[in-house]
Chains A and B, each alone.
Chain A
Amino acid sequence: MTVAKPLPHDAARLHVTGGARYVDDLPTPPGTLHLAFGLSAKARAKVTLGLEAVRASAGVALVLGPGDLDPMPDCSPSAHDEPLLAMGEAFYAGHPLFLVAAESHLLARKAAAKAEIGYEELDAILTIEDAIAADSRFEDGPRVYEKGDVMAAISRAPHLVEGRVLVGGQEHFYLEGQSALAIPTEDGGMVVHSSSQHPTEIQHKVADALGRAMHDVKVEVRRMGGGFGGKESQGNHLAIACAVVAARTGRPVKMRYDRDDDFVVTGKRHDFRIDYRAGFDGEGRCLGVDFVQYCRCGWSMDLSLPVADRAMLHADNAYLLPAARITSHRLKTNTQSATAFRGFGGPQGMVGIERVMDHAAHVLGLDPLEVRRANYYREAPVAASEASGGSISGKMKGQPLPTADLAGRGSVKVETGSGKATRYGGAHSRVPATAENATPYGMEVTDFILHEMTETLARDCEFEARKAAVAEWNAANPVLKRGIALTPVKFGISFTLTHLNQAGALVHVYQDGSVSMNHGGTEMGQGLFQKVAQVAASRFGLPMERVRITATDTAKVPNTSATAASSGSDLNGMAVKAACDAIRDRIAEVVAAELQAEPAAIVFEDGQVRAGEASMSWEEAIAKTYMARVSLSATGFYATPGIEWDRIAGRGRPFYYFAYGAACSEVVIDTLTGENRILRTDILHDCGASLNPAIDIGQIEGGFVQGAGWLTTEELVWDGAGRLRTHAPSTYKIPACSDRPGVFNVALWDGANREETIYRSKAVGEPPLMLGISVWSALAQACAACGPNWPDLQTPATAEAVLAAVGRARG
């Protein structure tokens, strides 16, 4: 079996030898033009363009202003509100105003700098407060999801916890900047190489921009140098610009943003202000919570609605809230259009409730972890055979996971414990939304495993003993204070836009028995290609080297969804499995007679096609199938079952299942300066039956560090004129090698997904990011150790913010 093995990334050897090519590395055809945008320096202004000097600049082939494009191509992934170039009015500092095509990247940039741009400045709406005051928003009013009578619950509660938390944005800082290369082909066709998580979107938008049908445009993505959500929609502008100029000039056209432009032009994680009021009883149980989420969306809609929805959907995190109201304002501002970023709003929503738990513990004088556990959803009962209930300690690399029986014959036959658990959808009966273990949006939580995970993690990382040691340390040390916190993650898996939960695949078996595999997912470092190839190799019983992974290509697999929402392996793995199984069935039909078995009894393993004692080699079976004139190529398709969601009412089952995790972090702060560091982090994370433990552990480590960076050092600063001042690595601090915890233990929770996902695995891309909240919570604990008052630590918890919180704690 090739699944469940800790194999390295598919292109490992290429990566370490410099042979792995990204869009910017592709040899450009002779005559390639290079593009640069001219950008608005003002956040909101009527703009007049003087482009004569630009046109006259050396090496310039074409200059396009808004008047030169009719119709103006749209770059929006949602509301058709992003013209490629600002049409008379600039809506943010960084807004593309005009486009230069020149013989080289440098010449294009030099020319763009020569524009004479006139600005008539208008009042800009920059901050959340500005937008609230101006009632500048998307949608008519706020969205509200509600469960129970919140006002009554809070007013009856013996203890009130009230406050505000500012949740910062985050720059993706993919090491590979945005880039695209468009090559015109015969008969008006266009081939686009794009650094995009969403090739179908690029294809669709480019076709629209050119006034062509989608079949005229082919988009290819071999790999990205990181995406993190930042390449879900933000690559549209470059691809469209390249295609438009390529169509006009008949020449290949390439564009990549310089790093500063990438910072200034593209959207980032949404920043939020979350106001909370919650009622608690004396034992730390939450009786009701009222959240108001203010979400800064920037100048255009982009993906802000589903992002803000997901923030609402994670306002409960792991906690059963008897009464809850979540009000979400999606504010329109004159800033970059905030976009998808790993977690897609979920992390912001989760920070809100985790802050409430910490605040309540402080008010009540209780241990924060006890408050958290007192509010957990109830454990969903399962059959004893399903959950082995333990962690796999230490690094898993090199060891297969002893989980379900994954032998690759027939359809996956893993016993599930559905007997006692309640499920929605499919063959399962529907449970009323008012059920006892339900989220604020009425989805029953049937797979909750955090009680046991928390207990296991707390035991393995010696939480109680270390908590006591921290208290002792703090009593003895006036300057350096420590904090320790254990926080949970429950993250919903599926696109909340239900129809996106589909995927296709194309698998060919050639006459020599080699396999070529393609699917709609894109590779950005998350190891998707390897995982899916492992599935294909498993289905056919072949070693990995017999399977070739090919670049994502809209001409091979159409109508794909973005590689996003952590869904890559879940969706594409299943689609590839379907394609492989179709081919397997055909082979079995052909060779059944010779092996004297029913086709259904034939298994594919170890390079053999077998029925009991009788067998033949894979290659022989392939040759026979070919000679029998039976197709060795198949498409596969998958649609996630059982999900339905009404985003306006806030009711339904948006998620197929939840992925869980818990992290314990210990930190130290210097109360004289606010400097801080992570001393140790222990993580226990749920990947179901991991398809590839090495890749999954990498995702968990990376997600945690990125989440911790978001909440500590990664501070985005806009000035009073709306200009982003942190637009380079010299001003925006992402974690470096020396910033990771000194002690860092990651373990996988040992248990199969209760839903029928690919080999019972779980999605892993986004959930671990929110494990970083443990660092922020531990910092708050350390600040609280400095005095009697609530430190009210905000995010990002920079040294300066920590010092301020220490001051507040002291009073």
Chain B
Amino acid sequence: MYSFEFARPGSIDEAVKALKAEEAQALGGGQTLIPTLKQRLAAPSVLVSLSGIAEMQGVCVSDDNALCVGGATPHAVVAKEAAKSFPALAGMASRIGDPAVRNRGTVGGSLANNDPSACYPAAALGTGATIKTNAREIAADDYFQGMFATALDEGEIITEVRFPIPEKANYQKFVQPASRFALVGVFVAKYASGVRVAVTGASEDGVFRWTEAEEALSKDFSAKAVEGLKVSADGMISDLHGPAAYRAHLVGVLTGRAVNAAA
């Protein structure tokens, strides 16, 4: 790790101020950032811990039926608190990493990092979530901009994420067994306005919406409707855990499973 300074703000305003320093970086639960720092892949001069900001913690359901999760809320809390109101999201949160990771890792950290194999991006894009920051609100469709790239500006903090609660939804993850990240993960959500399908783990461009499947499922919400559909292997990730063709194949299988399991 390179040397850095450390700030522990107690409010969003303080955090924003602290992040104005050159090369400052926000620290959520640290479950990705700290290993990265240990590998010297990142070299911030100031780390700004968001874990002490009370207004960024917690889970609730809004009047317009969205699940609102504070940006610094750990996965384990979401898994527990959302179990009744949004079981598909809670189920997804309960299968991130392992229990110790879920006790520290946060929704804001996951979305800000936008790892191409992380689970939360699929949930956010699959529900058309709104990412609320200290400065503005960003629609999920505008937020994800490729592997590890997002619409966030320098020093901008995710304070809350609002996930519209669907009629039915499910997240299916094919785990890369060593890291427990998604080799492929598919989030399917059915709304009155139509169906959304978001895929993580698979594409070199990070999380994406599978629009063919969305169209088919919006007409007929059944596994049969997506049976014949195939995702092209072009642009899929090929690495030591699986080639592009395998990932493309899994997208189809998992989408069918998610539809079958949707509740």
Determine if A803 is an interface residue (Cβ-Cβ < 8 Å).
yes
Contact of A732 among B178, B250, B253 (CB under 8 A): B178
Given contacts A673-B250, A803-B246, are A726 and B240 in contact (CB under 8 A)? yes
Report A-chain residues with C-beta under 8 Å of the C-beta of B174: 673, 675, 799
Asked if residues B240 and A800 are in contact (CB atoms below 8 Å), the reply is: no
Report A-chain residues with C-beta under 8 Å of the C-beta of B249: 673, 803
Query: Which parts of B9-35 form the interface with A (CB within 8 Å)?
Result: none
Report B-chain residues with C-beta under 8 Å of the C-beta of A113: 40
Closest Cβ–Cβ distance, residue A806 to chain B (whole Å): 12
Report A-chain residues with C-beta under 8 Å of the C-beta of B177: 713, 733
Closest Cβ–Cβ distance, residue B164 to chain A (whole Å): 30
Determine if A17 is an interface residue (Cβ-Cβ < 8 Å).
no
Compute how far the CA of A731 lies from the CA of B178 in the bound complex, rounded to whole angstroms: 5
Asked if residues B246 and A733 are in contact (CB atoms below 8 Å), the reply is: no
* Chain B proximity mask over A708-736: 1 for CB below 8 Å, otherwise 0: 00000101010100000110011111000
Report B-chain residues with C-beta under 8 Å of the C-beta of A719: 240
Determine if B242 is an interface residue (Cβ-Cβ < 8 Å).
yes
Closest Cβ–Cβ distance, residue B122 to chain A (whole Å): 17
Closest Cβ–Cβ distance, residue A383 to chain B (whole Å): 50
Query: Which parts of A765-811 form the interface with B (CB within 8 Å)?
Result: 799-800, 803
Compute how far the CA of A799 lies from the CA of B175 in the bound complex, rounded to whole angstroms: 11
Compute how far the CA of A729 lies from the CA of B98 in the bound complex, rounded to whole angstroms: 13
Asked if residues B253 and A730 are in contact (CB atoms below 8 Å), the reply is: no
Nearest neighbor of A260 in chain B, beta-carbon distance: B39
Nearest neighbor of A674 in chain B, beta-carbon distance: B246
Closest Cβ–Cβ distance, residue B117 to chain A (whole Å): 11
Report B-chain residues with C-beta under 8 Å of the C-beta of A732: 178
Query: Which parts of B234-263 form the interface with A (CB within 8 Å)?
Result: 240-243, 246, 249-250, 253
Interface residues of B, CB < 8 Å — how many?
A: 13
Closest Cβ–Cβ distance, residue B61 to chain A (whole Å): 32
Compute how far the CA of A733 lies from the CA of B174 in the bound complex, rounded to whole angstroms: 14
Compute how far the CA of A799 lies from the CA of B240 in the bound complex, rounded to whole angstroms: 13
Compute how far the CA of A803 lies from the CA of B177 in the bound complex, rounded to whole angstroms: 16
Compute how far the CA of A717 lies from the CA of B246 in the bound complex, rounded to whole angstroms: 17
Determine if B193 is an interface residue (Cβ-Cβ < 8 Å).
no
Report B-chain residues with C-beta under 8 Å of the C-beta of A713: 177-178
Asked if residues A729 and B178 are in contact (CB atoms below 8 Å), the reply is: yes
Asked if residues A731 and B179 are in contact (CB atoms below 8 Å), the reply is: yes
Compute how far the CA of A715 lies from the CA of B239 in the bound complex, rounded to whole angstroms: 13
Closest Cβ–Cβ distance, residue B244 to chain A (whole Å): 12
Nearest neighbor of B38 in chain A, beta-carbon distance: A258
Report B-chain residues with C-beta under 8 Å of the C-beta of A731: 178-179, 240-241
Nearest neighbor of B40 in chain A, beta-carbon distance: A113
Closest Cβ–Cβ distance, residue A521 to chain B (whole Å): 33
Report A-chain residues with C-beta under 8 Å of the C-beta of B246: 800, 803
Report A-chain residues with C-beta under 8 Å of the C-beta of B178: 713, 726, 729-733
Determine if A672 is an interface residue (Cβ-Cβ < 8 Å).
yes
Report B-chain residues with C-beta under 8 Å of the C-beta of A726: 178, 240
Asked if residues B240 and A730 are in contact (CB atoms below 8 Å), the reply is: no
Closest Cβ–Cβ distance, residue B170 to chain A (whole Å): 16
Asked if residues B253 and A725 are in contact (CB atoms below 8 Å), the reply is: no
* Chain B proximity mask over A659-683: 1 for CB below 8 Å, otherwise 0: 0000000000000110100000000
Nearest neighbor of A719 in chain B, beta-carbon distance: B240
Interface centre among A113, A719, A726, A733 (most CB of B within 10 A): A733
Closest Cβ–Cβ distance, residue B183 to chain A (whole Å): 9
Asked if residues B250 and A730 are in contact (CB atoms below 8 Å), the reply is: no
Closest Cβ–Cβ distance, residue B216 to chain A (whole Å): 18
Nearest neighbor of A716 in chain B, beta-carbon distance: B240
Compute how far the CA of A675 lies from the CA of B184 in the bound complex, rounded to whole angstroms: 13
Compute how far the CA of A732 lies from the CA of B177 in the bound complex, rounded to whole angstroms: 8
Closest Cβ–Cβ distance, residue A594 to chain B (whole Å): 64
Nearest neighbor of A718 in chain B, beta-carbon distance: B240
Asked if residues B242 and A730 are in contact (CB atoms below 8 Å), the reply is: no
Nearest neighbor of B242 in chain A, beta-carbon distance: A800
Compute how far the CA of A794 lies from the CA of B193 in the bound complex, rounded to whole angstroms: 48
Compute how far the CA of A673 lies from the CA of B249 in the bound complex, rounded to whole angstroms: 8
Report B-chain residues with C-beta under 8 Å of the C-beta of A672: 253
* Chain A proximity mask over B60-88: 1 for CB below 8 Å, otherwise 0: 00000000000000000000000000000
Compute how far the CA of A341 lies from the CA of B181 in the bound complex, rounded to whole angstroms: 29
Compute how far the CA of A715 lies from the CA of B240 in the bound complex, rounded to whole angstroms: 9
Compute how far the CA of A799 lies from the CA of B249 in the bound complex, rounded to whole angstroms: 13
Compute how far the CA of A563 lies from the CA of B249 in the bound complex, rounded to whole angstroms: 47
Nearest neighbor of A733 in chain B, beta-carbon distance: B178
* Chain B proximity mask over A152-164: 1 for CB below 8 Å, otherwise 0: 0000000000000
Report A-chain residues with C-beta under 8 Å of the C-beta of B179: 730-731
Compute how far the CA of A730 lies from the CA of B239 in the bound complex, rounded to whole angstroms: 14
Compute how far the CA of A803 lies from the CA of B253 in the bound complex, rounded to whole angstroms: 13
Asked if residues A673 and B253 are in contact (CB atoms below 8 Å), the reply is: yes
21 pairs, CB–CB < 8 Å, chain A vs chain B: A113-B40, A673-B174, A673-B253, A713-B178, A717-B240, A719-B240, A725-B240, A726-B178, A726-B240, A730-B178, A730-B179, A731-B178, A731-B240, A732-B178, A733-B177, A733-B178, A800-B242, A800-B243, A800-B246, A803-B246, A803-B249
Q: Which 8 A-B pairs have the closest CB atoms?
A: A733-B178, A730-B179, A717-B240, A733-B177, A672-B253, A725-B240, A731-B178, A800-B246
